[in-house]
Amino acid sequence: MKKLVALIVFFILLVLLFVVALYIPKNYKYQYRVGEYQIVEQYSKKQKSYFFTVTGDDVTGKYALLSKYYRKRGLISHIDSQDNCLYISSKTISNFDICQNEDGYVTKYYNQEVQGSIIDTYDNINIYKSLDHKMLIWNYDSFVYVNGSNIKNISLFDDDVYELKLLTKIDHYLIVADYNQKYYFEKLYRIDIKNGAVKEIKLNRKVYFDAYILGTYKNNIYLFDNNKDIEYIINPMKGTIDKYSKSILVNGKWETVTLNKLKKREVAFINTEDYYFNVIDGLLYYITPINEVLVTNQEVSRIVESNTHEVFYIADDSLYYVNYKDGISIVMSYTEWQFNNSNIYIF
């Protein structure tokens, strides 16, 4: 009887190992044809990405896709070609396109003429599109809070402040130093982006305004005070502030840094991504492990917010939004953004 039980357990474990081995991500390279196109399909476990090279009679295009692993090989099922673009269809992964011009890779909406109609105006800010995102826009004397049709002012300080430098996002909060003080602050404001509610967070130490934020980690703010030569860890949820060893977080690992580098503002938290948006010489690119894709022909002054698949950016006096599915949309315009657009926060 014991032998039978042991044999059953053995076969169960064997089946489980087989299933795990079958579905666990694997690096692979697979070549196949779809119509007139030769395809090289690869998967990288480390980068959690598919890489495709598609070659036709007079075109070769490359595409990188951040994606979970699929056991199936030969993911591309159909390819159409039109206007320097390859339109790729798949029954497993998201459809995608590969477009090129004389300068390199571009999006299919690279030359899109972006237009919109104003649906609302608030504090001289023209609103063209309502998104699921929530926003806080500093206009020198208050924040304009935008949450769909809910738009209101959030006043914090007695006098105008041209640029807020000591503030950061944590979870669904915006944390702002108390600029009512002149040389140092002993209080933070915590704005809840869900409803615009403000809470004051008192600290038991003075932090001088020549401090700067190194980064955030697990609801904590890491900040270096140049006046005191001290790195602090601040928890704005608990209202605690403590001294911290002189170190920064680099790709998930803590590294010690010298006081000299901290004082020269040469360091900050680093989290290297394989996919990201970047402005190079006034042009907006989507960077992947295998190519750089020009997103728009607009002259872009600044990226406001981005992740691996969407980006908000400023061009001229307007805020634009891009995602792969919908292309480029104008969200807001404000004449002041031609000169100062550093205090826009999107959640």
* pLDDT for the residue numbered 119: 95
Say if residue 1's pLDDT is above 90.
no
* pLDDT for the residue numbered 325: 76
Contact 105, 293 (CB under 8 A): yes
Handedness of CA 164, 167, 169, 175 (dihedral sign): negative
171-203 per-position pLDDT tens digit: 999 999 999 999 999 999 999 999 999 999 999
In angstroms, rounded to a whole number, what is the distance separating the alpha carbons of residues 313 and 337?
11
In angstroms, rounded to a whole number, what is the distance separating the alpha carbons of residues 201 and 330?
36
* pLDDT for the residue numbered 22: 54
Give the tokens for residue 236. 């704005």
Which residues pair with residue 286 across a beta bridge?
Answer: 277, 293
At 108 the three-state DSSP class reads coil
At 3 the three-state DSSP class reads helix
In angstroms, rounded to a whole number, what is the distance separating the alpha carbons of residues 167 and 307?
20
In angstroms, rounded to a whole number, what is the distance separating the alpha carbons of residues 69 and 241?
43
Mind giving me the DSSP string for 313-330?
A: EEETTEEEEEETTTEEEE
Q: Residue 124: which of 343, 333, 346, 292 has the closest Cα?
A: 333
* pLDDT for the residue numbered 23: 61
Q: Which of 2-11, 27-36, 210-219, 267-276 is predicted least confidently?
A: 2-11
In angstroms, rounded to a whole number, what is the distance separating the alpha carbons of residues 227 and 207?
9
In angstroms, rounded to a whole number, what is the distance separating the alpha carbons of residues 47 and 270?
17
In the chain, where the domains are located: 25-101, 120-346
In angstroms, rounded to a whole number, what is the distance separating the alpha carbons of residues 200 and 236?
9
Mean pLDDT of 134-149: 95
* pLDDT for the residue numbered 326: 80
Mean pLDDT of the chain: 93
Angle at 231 between CA 226 and CA 232, to 5 degrees: 120
pTM of the model: 0.90
In angstroms, rounded to a whole number, what is the distance separating the alpha carbons of residues 80 and 300?
31
236-245 per-position pLDDT tens digit: 999 999 999 9
In angstroms, rounded to a whole number, what is the distance separating the alpha carbons of residues 100 and 308?
21
